[in-house]
Structure 1
Amino acid sequence: MSIPTTHPFAFDPTYGTTLEELLAVEPPEEPEGFDAFWEARYRKALAVDPRPEFSRSEFSHPDWHVLDLVYLSTGAFRIGGWLLLPQKGQVRRGLVVGHGYGGRDRPDFDLPVEETALIFPCCRGLSLSADPAISQNPSWHVLHDIDKRDSYIIGGCVEDIWLAVSTLVALYPWLSGHIGYSGISFGGGVGAMAIPYDPRIDRGHLALPSFGHQPLRLKLPSVGSAEGVQEYLAKHEDVLSTLSFYDAATAARRIKVPMLTAVALFDPAVAPPCQFAVANAIPKFNEIFILDAGHFDYPGSAEQEAGLRDKIGQFFRVS
């Protein structure tokens, strides 16, 4: 292991926890009505016709047909992104690929998958789905309507993922039940909330998942979106009444499909105890891949990321 020992942060991004302690972190107490809340949102999302529109992309790749994509999500929100179709072979699987809180400016052409249709959506308010009413700064985006449980923006982002799945199913109806989800950081946390309620998703990969164990997330010093929520908490003590319904670890307890979860021992942006709370909560079929650090460059990171990428390719391989 090569966990960083020098860093510029005023706090310890390992939080003094050992691997044994991290593997023992459990999800927080959950609010009454958690399932009813998300099941109702899924039913609402499933009723939306995504009406996808395509255009030629400025990007090209020898292995992929690349199309710019726009589809409708809940609240008639227009979601931008990309659709990649294989140049060779048939479309036998689907994959929705989430993004971190930095958004996304291009599709990832290096995912080691074949015979797969990939959608790279930009969640509402970010990158190609920018909106003048929503800040793209993670510390502000994460606060958008946080005082309103039913309209908090993170819930809309989960619905954007479900509508990406609906878009794949509209294009290739035989893919329902053969669609994977892969997301990192912000996308990992959103994915943990999306996967358990959508039976069309048959497996998922979450890396450095955010939004896990919200009570810990509100306490452990962090940078980025978590810091923004902590600063908000100082003036609005009732914020947990909303966030308890948007807890990735609580949602992960409901996941019933095979999962590959990558979590870090050192991370200044998503505290490791919060990441492990998500990974530990998944009841079965979960492989945990441990990284020395997340959201931080470190010696050996390229080798670890290459190893993880190989795992991802095997995990989403068409059978």
Structure 2
Amino acid sequence: MPLPEPYDSWFPDAPIDGTYGYDRDALLAVEPVPPPPGFADLWHGWFAASRTVRPEPRLTSLDRQGAHDLYEVEHTGAGGLRLRGWLALPSDGAARVGVVRSHGYGGRDEPGFDRVPDDAAVVFPVARGLGALNVGVGAPDTAAEHVVHGIGSVETYALGRCAVDLWHAADALVEVAGDLPLYYVGESFGGIGALAVPWDRRFVGATFVVPSFGQYDVRLGVECTGSGEAVRRYVAEHPEARDVLRYFDTSTAAGYLRIPVRCECALWDTAVPPPGQFAVANAVAVSARAGSSGAGVAGAASSGAGASGYGVGATLELQDLPAGHAEYPGKDDDNARAAAATRAHIARCLER
């Protein structure tokens, strides 16, 4: 079957139709997955346990990048692992906000400041096992092995441990920069932020870019070129793992968000199927509608300390991307507009 326009000319050799047969209306109709029993209690419990761990950050000064002084940071993560990443502070003046800037499954070899305001302190965590800094620490270093590591148990699954590590990275940032309101930015694999942010009231907003791990009911039924293919094949041979994955569906967790959220979802993506991405955005939209009508929703985030945006309720800002995980005409301009939109979203979250 021929690919739809313009993808037939953009990606003539694509092994998969990255629309998966969904047009925009169909994507907006993809339902998030309801929570399994004990979902909120599990994540609340993990967050409460994380509060007992001291981050003990250790900084190594590097150089100045633009408006920021850059450091390598080592801090304690879940299970006592010492994880490395980068941390940056405004070179001139005090920070107004703290940004937790996660990464994709390619890991991170260096920090990127395109979505970071000049007056933000920012931590660039590197997930256990990944990137230039944490290879060999706590998980395998290839996406296909990492994404199924520990999948035999809810308590050991790598995605859950990496989501918990985001709280510890935020703790390291706060200990260095002070008790700031926090904002999360994550793309692709960084969609794990949707698992972590709902339970931590320090976060006042978030941006999710082509978020992964949403709507496993759909994802497990289709082939892809990303890490989800390793999960699909694993579950086909070990169907009991499906019960573990129910506690790590980002479309489920996103329904618990009570803050302004910006989602950038691709209409074409062979690595992270678009219906999974839009399921995350659709969960936020459901939460926003329920909040505005006074109706009950799946559950409320209630743990955490410090500045909180949860009193304002969920809102969704949705941007369609022509394609994700691929080069296409005009992508650089789209990226620049999206980065500016995230910075503007951060400013609006701080004004609420």
> Matched residues in 1 for 2:229 and 2:344: separation?
35
Identity value in percent: 36
Does 2:160 correspond to 1:155? yes
Q: CA deviation at 1:207?
A: 0.4
Instruction: Rate the CA distance shift 1:63–1:114 in 2: closer, same or farther, 3 A.
Output: closer
SS at match of 2:60: strand
Aligned length: 315
Question: Does the 8 A contact of 1:27 with 1:213 survive in 2?
Answer: yes
> Matched residues in 2 for 1:43 and 1:107: separation?
29
Question: Which structure 2 residues correspond to residues 60-99 of structure 1 after superposition, within 5 A?
Answer: 60-99=64-103
> Matched residues in 2 for 1:112 and 1:248: separation?
24
Q: 1:228 — aligned with what?
A: 230
SS at match of 2:84: strand
The amino acid that maps onto 1:77 is: L
C-alpha RMSD of matched pairs (Å): 1.6
CA deviations on 1:126-179 (whole Å, 9 max, x unpaired) are 12122266321101100101111111011110111111111122223431xx11
> Matched residues in 1 for 2:69 and 2:227: separation?
34
Choose the corresponding residue for 2:240, options 238, 242, 245. Answer: 238
> Matched residues in 2 for 1:271 and 1:111: separation?
24
TM-score (norm 2): 0.86
The amino acid that maps onto 1:109 is: F
> Matched residues in 2 for 1:112 and 1:69: separation?
18
Question: Which structure 2 residues correspond to residues 1-319 of structure 1 after superposition, within 5 A?
Answer: 3-5=6-8, 6-57=11-62, 59-127=63-131, 128-131=133-136, 134-175=139-180, 178-187=181-190, 189-282=191-284, 283-284=287-288, 285-317=315-347, 319=351
> Matched residues in 2 for 1:197 and 1:130: separation?
28
Question: Does the 8 A contact of 1:74 with 1:160 survive in 2?
Answer: yes
The amino acid that maps onto 1:231 is: R
> Matched residues in 1 for 2:208 and 2:317: separation?
11
The amino acid that maps onto 2:255 is: R
Question: Does the 8 A contact of 1:2 with 1:298 survive in 2?
Answer: no
SS at match of 1:165: helix
SS at match of 2:173: helix
> Matched residues in 2 for 1:230 and 1:7: separation?
25
Instruction: Rate the CA distance shift 1:7–1:240 in 2: closer, same or farther, 3 A.
Output: farther
> Matched residues in 1 for 2:332 and 2:20: separation?
24
CA deviations on 1:175-199 (whole Å, 9 max, x unpaired) are 1xx1100000000x21111110110
Question: Does the 8 A contact of 1:55 with 1:67 survive in 2?
Answer: yes
**Mind listing any 5+ residue stretches in structure 1 that lack a counterpart?**
none
The amino acid that maps onto 1:4 is: Y
The amino acid that maps onto 2:37 is: E
> Matched residues in 2 for 1:281 and 1:32: separation?
18
> Matched residues in 1 for 2:66 and 2:220: separation?
45
> Matched residues in 1 for 2:17 and 2:283: separation?
25
Question: Does the 8 A contact of 1:196 with 1:252 survive in 2?
Answer: yes
SS at match of 1:105: coil
SS at match of 2:319: strand
Question: Does the 8 A contact of 2:98 with 2:183 survive in 1?
Answer: yes
Question: Does the 8 A contact of 2:76 with 2:82 survive in 1?
Answer: yes
